[in-house]
A and B are shown apart, each in its own frame.
Chain A
């Protein structure tokens, strides 16, 4: 059996263990569950896989009120009632009023697709369990018409989770798991280079140094991550700042720290650091 292997894209750098996990999921046709700190590129990974393998990406952002049924299909009763009253279209044909959700759409699509179930932990506790059957069998039945929708080509399923809630064991068991570790300095500088190719080496070094120093501070509620760093460097470039020093006061700190408590914690930590020298 052969399959196309995932090797990362120009915009998305991977590690061998990430590639291995993705390829496991592709070969074994299991969902890939990606966890990691917010801002480490979980959603971007799905986009990169879709780009690399040339698949259409179907994005299903999960919210607190999302139900598994919403992913399959919705029966648009209101439209049907409306049409029956005002006479637009064939009301007898109930199929016209079945609208596929993201999961249903990925099954019904003509070619292979990539279904991204984003932030699965946001939904109700039972949500992942409700999806198990459909993801296993890759088919579901539309209750209103009795039609069975079977995936012609098994979609690649990528599921992301922020690790806020524990997911059920039965669900975890069926997934290939990968935890995106926080990049080290070396990988981080390569990642920043991808996004800001013309950045000066001096500013890159300095900003990385300050960035990791801030991440190491105790008592932060939300530590800044890759996406914040990339945004922050973009702001620095726009403002024409050529040098940053943690001790000299950090420009545009709001791009890195987004909670008031964290800004206070940062101010306290830096003033503590200065006091002995003064």
Chain B
């Protein structure tokens, strides 16, 4: 029951593992649950849940597993200690139990397994009905039914007659997307240190050297503290073809906003392609003319553009028809992009689309901006490129 609960938690996104299981076992051994189910609930929650966002998932898993369990029948401690010896401890069946299990032929077992699989919605360990591990039902993995059908690998009970794929690791694939903390950590590398400002830090090696030169007469040397001196402009493409990527670019945006090591961060929005102006709001209001932006930000600012770089070719190259009718300069989009790329010493374009989809307008833009994928690797590469050189100005 308990192991199944841990797996259920994991399936619902609560990161509970062996460490949590051991901690709970220890807590129960010390009697912290006071022998009651609600005591166990509180102990398990304090140890398995690590962030408030997971509390709800924990409650759902708990209700699912322990509904209808009478308090006095709860002998979790014993089961847990058993579990610690063997992740899925098998029950040894007595002869009586063995004979009491239904004797089924393989075809019948397979048919019932298919029916059960269709019924079953969740992962399951132990028990005598559902498909899972360590149970006595005739189908599942590592069970002890003498006539069972086995699913997946692993040395199990003797009764396993056949094997079917289990796909145990499919969940590991879910973490390929960037989470906010990963982005924050990657962004931390986007910095360039420089010493400037008031002299309020003791330069220890300098002081020792100066004192020695002074024949032991103390001479203090001070220096300005070392601070990151990087200014960043973030330009985000919004709307249209960027809508499917709104989530990941939103995460990048909030991580950049929270980063404390930028000397200055400006974020602007554009739609499809940058023309004469960029916007302070995602709703494309409060425009700022590009010439003014270039006046305000000297070339040492790092420019990061996030966009899928896909638009119709005329949006990029023709000088007349654009969605932004307020811009009257008549220059084509590519000219504005080139102006941006030439103004800033270091810039990068992050593209949420896979590299295979970088053709058409993306191919043209790639010639103007170094283009990277909006993944952890791409972001890391882009940042390495952005901090190279030009830091100490």
B-binding residues in A (CB < 8 A): 1, 16-17, 20-21, 23-25, 27-28, 30, 33, 35, 64, 77-78, 81-82, 84-85, 125, 163-169, 172-173, 175-179
Contacts and interface: CB of A to CB of B under 8 A. Distances in A.
Interface in B1-53: 15, 19-20, 23, 26-27, 30, 32, 38-39, 42-43, 45-47, 49-52
B46 A85 contact: no
19 contacts: A20-B39, A20-B43, A20-B46, A28-B27, A28-B30, A28-B47, A30-B23, A81-B208, A82-B218, A85-B217, A163-B52, A164-B258, A165-B258, A166-B181, A166-B184, A168-B181, A172-B50, A173-B20, A175-B50
A81 B27 CA distance: 51
Contacts, number: 83
Contact of B202 (A78, A163, A167): A78
B384 to A, nearest CB: 19
B385 to A, nearest CB: 22
A20 B33 CA distance: 8
Given A20-B43, A28-B27, A169-B15, A179 B55 contact: yes
A164 to B, nearest CB: 8
Contacts of A81: 207-208, 211, 218, 220
Contact of B30 (A1, A33, A168, A173): A1
Given A17-B45, A35-B52, A178-B46, 9 more contacts: A20-B46, A28-B27, A28-B30, A85-B216, A163-B51, A167-B51, A173-B15, A177-B46, A179-B52
A176 B202 contact: no
Contacts of A173: 15, 19-20, 50
Contacts of B202: 77-78
- The 7 A-B pairs with the shortest beta carbon distances in the complex, nearest first, are A20-B42, A172-B50, A85-B218, A21-B46, A179-B52, A166-B181, A17-B42
Interface string B203-234: 01001100100001110100000000000000
B16 to A, nearest CB: 9
A238 to B, nearest CB: 36
B60 interface: no
B42 A21 contact: yes
B180 interface: yes
A125 B46 contact: no
A27 B208 CA distance: 49
Nearest to A77: B204
Nearest to A180: B52
Contacts of B23: 28, 30
A166 B218 contact: no
B263 interface: no
A82 B23 CA distance: 51
A27 B28 CA distance: 11
A81 B211 CA distance: 9
B260 interface: yes
Contacts of B220: 78, 81
